[in-house]
């Protein structure tokens, strides 16, 4: 018998309804999962871009300026001298920075190389690797020691000198000891020296000589 114009309702199978509901829940769960994964990947990608951009921006800043920025943040206990000329056995040389403080006389040697620095503390030469190019540099700790010896002769007195080698654009892949750091650890290095070793009279005397 045909019934024209009337809507016929067929009974729904409860099992089919349950399966459909489970399918919807599964799809929603999977969607939420992939949204979270996508969000994590986006955050990770942004962090990588910011890191690379930060490194690139740092390379554009001269090494001497990076060091000077850190030294400018030191408090009034420190007096900073730059480009101090000294006599060595084989002629004249200069020390990039000498910092006078009650905690010692810090003698800074600056290395502006780009790349990864490897080697051992007492090796005659250290290795620089960058973009497939291998180079070497003379052990800067030894050069720093020569500068300290020359400065000691100029001051004509025995004082507590603190050696320090600062790399501005390189990554240190080995431990060269506490006296070799990257520029972003410069402030931390000074904060680690808090014991008074030089009286005010000796500090004034050293300042007077370096100002000559």
Which residue carries 């500090």 as its tokens? 203
The confidence band for 39, taking pLDDT boundaries of 50, 70 and 90, is low
Q: Measuring CA to CA, which residue among 46, 70, 99 is closest to residue 206? A: 99
Q: Using 50, 70 and 90 to split pLDDT, how confident is the model at 52? A: very low
**pLDDT-based confidence at 132, cuts 50/70/90?**
confident
Q: Is the pLDDT of residue 148 over 90?
A: yes
CA max distance for the chain: 123
Entry pTM: 0.71
What angle separates helix 140-155 from helix 200-210, to the nearest 10 degrees?
100
Tens digit of each residue's pLDDT (9 = 90 or more) over 53-110: 544 555 678 889 999 999 999 999 999 999 999 888 777 888 999 999 999 999 999 9
Neighbours of 193 (CB within 10 A): 15
Tokens representing 141 are 């700790």
Give residue-wise pLDDT tens across range 1-36.
Answer: 444 555 545 454 555 655 666 666 666 676 666 666
How many CB atoms sit inside 10 A of residue 141's CB?
A: 19
CA dist 111 → 14, 34, 126, 169, 179 (Å):
77, 47, 12, 8, 13
**8 A C-beta contact, residue 66 and residue 55:** no
Taking a C-beta distance cutoff of 8 angstroms, is the pair 97, 152 a contact? no
């Amino acid at each position: 018998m045909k019934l024209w114009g009337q809507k016929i309702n067929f009974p729904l199978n409860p099992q089919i309804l349950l399966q459909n509901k489970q399918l919807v829940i599964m799809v929603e769960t999977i969607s939420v999962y992939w949204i979270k994964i996508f969000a994590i990947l986006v955050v990770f990608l942004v962090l990588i871009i910011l890191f690379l951009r930060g490194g690139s921006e740092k390379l554009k800043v001269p090494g001497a300026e990076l060091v000077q920025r850190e030294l400018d943040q030191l408090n009034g206990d420190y007096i900073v001298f730059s480009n101090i000329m000294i006599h060595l056995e084989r002629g004249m040389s200069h020390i990039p920075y000498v910092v006078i403080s009650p905690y010692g006389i810090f003698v800074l040697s600056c290395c502006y190389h780009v790349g990864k620095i490897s080697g051992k503390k007492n090796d005659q030469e250290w290795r620089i690797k960058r973009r497939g190019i291998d180079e070497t540099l003379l052990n800067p700790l030894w050069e720093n020691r020569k500068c300290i010896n020359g400065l000691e002769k100029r001051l004509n007195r025995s004082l507590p000198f603190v050696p320090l080698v600062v790399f501005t654009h390189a990554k240190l892949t080995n431990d060269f000891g506490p006296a070799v750091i990257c520029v972003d650890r410069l402030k931390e290095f000074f904060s680690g020296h808090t014991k008074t070793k030089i009286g005010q009279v000796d500090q004034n005397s050293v300042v007077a000589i370096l100002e000559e």
